[in-house]
């Protein structure tokens, strides 16, 4: 640029330098803002991730010691919980001592884990004097659940329970084969139903003597 006036040339050079400096400052500022946005976004993401992981972590007090445990999605444990629910229901329903109070306590626990079909089975046994005969004859009844077949591909979940009952009488021990079936549906967890499952449409398929031993 050929300037006829030296002062004008100097002024143009100064303005050009100011414009270049402004562009440079603007570029640096934009870079700093972008870096801050990226850093803040990363911090927020890690904070949410850490908060989510901390919610999955629980602490259990056992024997005076604090143990760390991790929560898992229900679908990951549904098989384990469902089988245990079936086992515990059958344990409470069929574990009977020759004591009316003990029988009622176990039956009450079982009733929290099943629908009215279990109540109907209980009423039928009671009307047939089954529990009265246990008490009067001093019979102790226990159950061992051999296996629980479970279909979690359908809902409610179908199950079939294979178990062995043992009735200890004063003069003999009777073993019975027990096969039942039913369905499980999800309900709210509670103190009386920790698995959050309910047995419904429960039916006894087989209950017959398989062995009798004299004492």
pLDDT (average), residues 7-35: 71
Residue 89: band (very low, low, confident or very high) from pLDDT cuts 50, 70, 90: very high
Q: Which residue in this structure is represented by tokens 């919610």?
A: 55
- What are 29's two structure tokens? 């500022």
**Spatial distance between the Cα atoms of 177 and 154, rounded to a whole number of angstroms:** 27
At the topology level of CATH, where does 74-214 sit? Nuclear Transport Factor 2; Chain: A, (3.10.450)
pLDDT at residue 13 is higher than 90: no
pLDDT (average), residues 98-113: 95
pLDDT (average), residues 182-201: 93
What pLDDT score does 64 carry?
A: 55
Contacts of 78 (CB under 8 A, 6+ apart): 152, 157
pLDDT (average), residues 186-210: 93
Least confident of 72-76, 98-102, 152-156: 72-76
Q: What is the maximum alpha-carbon separation in the chain?
A: 132
What pLDDT score does 121 carry?
A: 95
Cis peptide before 191 (omega within 30 of 0): no
Q: Which residue has the higher pLDDT, 81 or 28?
A: 81
C-alpha Rg value of the chain to the nearest Å = 36
pLDDT at residue 110 is higher than 70: yes
- Nearest CA among 107, 128, 129 for reference residue 118: 107
The residue ranges of every structural domain in the chain are 1-71, 74-214
How many C-beta atoms lie closer than 10 Å to residue 157's C-beta?
20
Rank 77-81, 144-148, 194-198 by mean pLDDT and report only the highest.
144-148
**Spatial distance between the Cα atoms of 192 and 112, rounded to a whole number of angstroms:** 6
Count of all residues that appear for the chain in the document = 215
């Amino acid at each position: 640029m050929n300037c006829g006036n030296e002062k004008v040339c100097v002024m143009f050079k100064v303005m050009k330098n100011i414009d270049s400096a402004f562009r440079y400052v603007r570029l640096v500022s934009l870079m700093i803002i972008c870096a801050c946005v990226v850093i803040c976004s990363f911090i927020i993401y890690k904070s949410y991730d850490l908060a989510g992981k901390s919610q999955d972590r629980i602490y259990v007090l056992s024997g005076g010691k604090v143990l760390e445990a991790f929560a898992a999605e229900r679908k990951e444990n549904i098989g384990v919980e469902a089988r245990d629910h079936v086992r515990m229901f059958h344990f409470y329903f069929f574990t009977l001592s020759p004591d009316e109070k003990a029988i009622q306590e176990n039956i009450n626990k079982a009733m929290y884990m099943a629908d009215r079909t279990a109540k109907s089975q209980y009423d039928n046994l009671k009307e047939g004097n089954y529990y009265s005969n246990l008490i009067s004859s001093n019979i102790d009844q226990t159950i061992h659940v051999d296996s629980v077949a479970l279909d979690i591909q359908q809902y409610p979940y179908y199950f079939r329970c294979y178990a062995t009952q043992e009735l200890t009488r004063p003069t003999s021990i009777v073993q019975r084969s027990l096969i039942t079936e039913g369905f499980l549906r999800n309900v709210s967890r509670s103190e009386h139903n920790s698995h959050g499952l309910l047995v419904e449409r429960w039916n006894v398929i087989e209950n017959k003597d398989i062995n009798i031993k004299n004492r």
